[in-house]
Structure 1
Amino acid sequence: MDRLIASAAQSLAGGDALSALKRISLRDDPPALALRGTAMAQLGDLARARELLQAAARGFGAREPVARARCILAGAEIALVTRDLVTALRALGTAQAVLEAHADRANAAHAACLQARLLLLTGRLDDAEQRCNTLETKALPAASRPGYWLVAAGIAMRRIRARDARAALDRAAQTARETGISALAAEVAQARAAFDAPAARLIENGGDRLLDLAKVETLIATDMLLVDICRNVLRCGATVIPLAGRPVLLALLRKLAEAWPRDASREALLLHAFRARHVDESHRARLRVEIGRLRGLIKPLAGVKATGRGFVLEPRGARKIAVLTPPVEGEHAALLALLADGETWSSSALALALDVSPRTVLRGLEALKEAGRVDWFGHGRARRWIVRNVPGFPTSLLLPVLLPKG
């Protein structure tokens, strides 16, 4: 490695992209292209950074597999930032295998950290946690350590473990300060703000109030019967009954919980669960069928009793009943939750993160576009979607978590 390349690499490691570019801006050899690509990424010109890194990877070729894998790894990180998740997933696996085979421990650990970040983003918390637990943390470059702790904090937030999340955020802040890179400190500060903001809304006895993550954690540890709309489950302490994939039963259960201790009328249940404005006997028959299914599903925690005008929930024991929802709700709340990070997303990446079909995502995006909530730019596969106004609440309880379907 010549002196200019070494000096530019040292500047990049310290977050000084401009100094690095001054040294190598006129060079087109593969090492210089790779460093220029990294510098452009640090400066925010991700499209140009991607082009430079691809050119560097071609220049290194098969004769320099480690250098080529490093370029692929940097490109995968850009793909992750730009929410090109399919490309990131494919590239990370390829790069990490080569780096591990050639004992490049630092970059292999960085690749594993990015994989954990990708798994977290797509709701695969068990896989993300396993990846974090098995990667070689001591081998991580200094600039990668704040990212590792942010992933750990994200996992803890999504699992509603407030103390673990705060501890991980403290470690992220400490490691960011040690690097002296202001962009990393800003990223940690943004994560801290999300942690401190309201994370959910509790509906109980006709009223509602906002809760932070610590209060949500305290709540779910009690013996309260909680209809958790954030996770699509019915929970009471350690007992959890999944309702993912059963939207009608979840809607009925929510309406019954909101009405408790009073009953919910049949008309209200039909309107809420079936969108039925003109009720006939077929609707009433279907309601009886769905209520029967609901009884069987939630039997360990509660019963459903018929009344003169509708149905009422009867919790086992002297438990209270409440509903936990995201701070802001809507038909396409999950899409908005992902877009709320302020990044540009492709529809295919949104479909992968939400574990739904691309057609479903496109229908939702078009509806949000008509409502003035999102914008797009580009055409075809290059089209990207972005939210117009980033909502003032964190997405930790809104983003998808892959739970077993009941």
Structure 2
Amino acid sequence: MDSLIEAAARALAAGDALGALNRVALRSDAPALALRGVAMAQLGDLARAKALMRSAARAFGPKEALARARCVVAEAEIALASRELNWPAKMLHAARATLEAHGDRLNAAHARYLEVRRLLLIGRLEDAERLLVGLDPAPFPPALKAAHELIVAGMAMRRLEAKAARAALTRARQAAAHSGIPALKAEVESAALLLSTPAARLIAHGQAHPLLLEEVEALMMSGALVVDACRHIVACNAAPAIHLARRPVLFAIARALAEAWPEDVPRNALIADAFRTQLPDESHRARLRVEMARLRATIRPLAEVIATKRGFALVPQHAREIVVLARPVDEKHAAVLALLADGESWSSSAVALALGASQRTVQRALDSLAESGKVQSVGRGRARRWMTQPMPALATTLLLPARLV
């Protein structure tokens, strides 16, 4: 490695992208192409960075497996930053295996972290946790330690474990300070803000008010029967949660009954909520009876559904009260907005993959949000990306839905 390449690499490790470019901007050899790609990625030109990394991988040649693997890891990070979630994950896995075989522990760990972050974005929390197990960040440099703790904090937030998330962010802040990289410090502070902004809304007795993540965690352990509209579950304390993500009609009925508790809900109101019609007829009433029977059987371990003179009511089996946990933003396409609230540009295919929905459904949601001015797009065709400004007053990404079960 010549002195200019070494100096450029040190500049990039310290977050000085312009300093690195000053040393290698006019060179076209493989190491210089790779360093230029990383520098362009740090400066935000992800399309140029991707092209440079691919050129570097080709220039290294088949005998330089270690260097090519590092290029693959860099390209995977660029794909993650540009939210290309359908980027071939098998290539990253193979590159990690090559790095481990050559003893490059730091870049192998970085590759593993990229795999974990991708799994988190597409809602595969259990797979992400399994991949992270056994990875000790103690011997890593400060920047990699900070990345590890940010991932741990993100997992804890998804698990509604506020204390663990706060502890991980404290460690991440210390590691980022030792790294001396301003962008990393800013990322940690941005993540820490999520703990002091509303993560959800509590709806009970006709009233609604926002909850922080710590308050959501306390609510889930309070003994109340919670109809969780963020993850589409019905839960009470340590009892197994009842998942209704794939049964939207049952969940709509359960939520309507929970919001009215302890009162009942008229049949016509339930039909309007569940079947989205304002002109019910006998066929709707017959279907409501069928869905009510299904709901009774599904949630019997936690609650009973009783018939009243004008409709139906929900009665908890053991809980003291019934509440609804709703998203902080009352928006039809709240899940899509929650993804876009990170300020990154997303393709419709990446949004569909992250939410476990069809691309056509996501495209309709994006078009609807664009018409109302809540999101905007850039580019055309396959290069089209969607984005919105972050919502600083709402921690909407904390309660993104997990993959449907």
Residues 144-293 of structure 1 mapped to structure 2, 5 A cutoff: 144-239=144-239, 240-293=241-294
SS at match of 2:305: strand
Residues in 1 aligned to 2:188 and 2:318: alpha-carbon distance in whole angstroms? 44
Match of 1:358?
359
Would you say the 8 A contact 1:106–1:139 is kept in 2?
Answer: no
Aligned residues: 404
Match of 2:377?
376
Calculate the TM-score normalised by the size of structure 1: 0.96
Residues in 2 aligned to 1:143 and 1:93: alpha-carbon distance in whole angstroms? 22
SS at match of 1:86: coil
Would you say the 8 A contact 1:339–1:345 is kept in 2?
Answer: yes
RMSD between superposed Cα atoms in Å: 1.5
Aligned AA (1:64): E
Residues in 2 aligned to 1:82 and 1:89: alpha-carbon distance in whole angstroms? 15
Distance 1:55 1:112, change over 3 A: same
Match of 1:32?
32
Residues in 2 aligned to 1:318 and 1:364: alpha-carbon distance in whole angstroms? 37
1:132-179, CA deviations, whole angstroms, 9 ceiling, x for partnerless residues?
213352454432221211111010000000100001111111110010
With 262-271 and 132-141 compared, the bigger mean Cα shift is at: 132-141
Residues in 2 aligned to 1:343 and 1:396: alpha-carbon distance in whole angstroms? 13
Residues in 1 aligned to 2:339 and 2:123: alpha-carbon distance in whole angstroms? 11
Residues in 1 aligned to 2:367 and 2:157: alpha-carbon distance in whole angstroms? 30
Residue 7 in 1 paired to residue 43 in 2?
Answer: no
With 74-83 and 25-34 compared, the bigger mean Cα shift is at: 25-34
Shift in Å at residue 329 of structure 1?
Answer: 2.5
Aligned AA (1:163): K
Would you say the 8 A contact 2:137–2:144 is kept in 1?
Answer: no
Aligned AA (2:36): R
Distance 1:161 1:388, change over 3 A: closer
Would you say the 8 A contact 2:121–2:354 is kept in 1?
Answer: yes
Shift in Å at residue 33 of structure 1?
Answer: 1.0
Distance 1:57 1:141, change over 3 A: farther
Would you say the 8 A contact 2:356–2:404 is kept in 1?
Answer: no
Residue 119 in 1 paired to residue 119 in 2?
Answer: yes
Shift in Å at residue 97 of structure 1?
Answer: 2.1
Distance 1:63 1:139, change over 3 A: farther
Residues in 1 aligned to 2:385 and 2:305: alpha-carbon distance in whole angstroms? 46
Residues in 1 aligned to 2:99 and 2:136: alpha-carbon distance in whole angstroms? 13
1:64-95, CA deviations, whole angstroms, 9 ceiling, x for partnerless residues?
11111111111110100000011162442232
Would you say the 8 A contact 1:200–1:216 is kept in 2?
Answer: yes
Residues in 1 aligned to 2:389 and 2:3: alpha-carbon distance in whole angstroms? 46
Distance 1:164 1:389, change over 3 A: closer
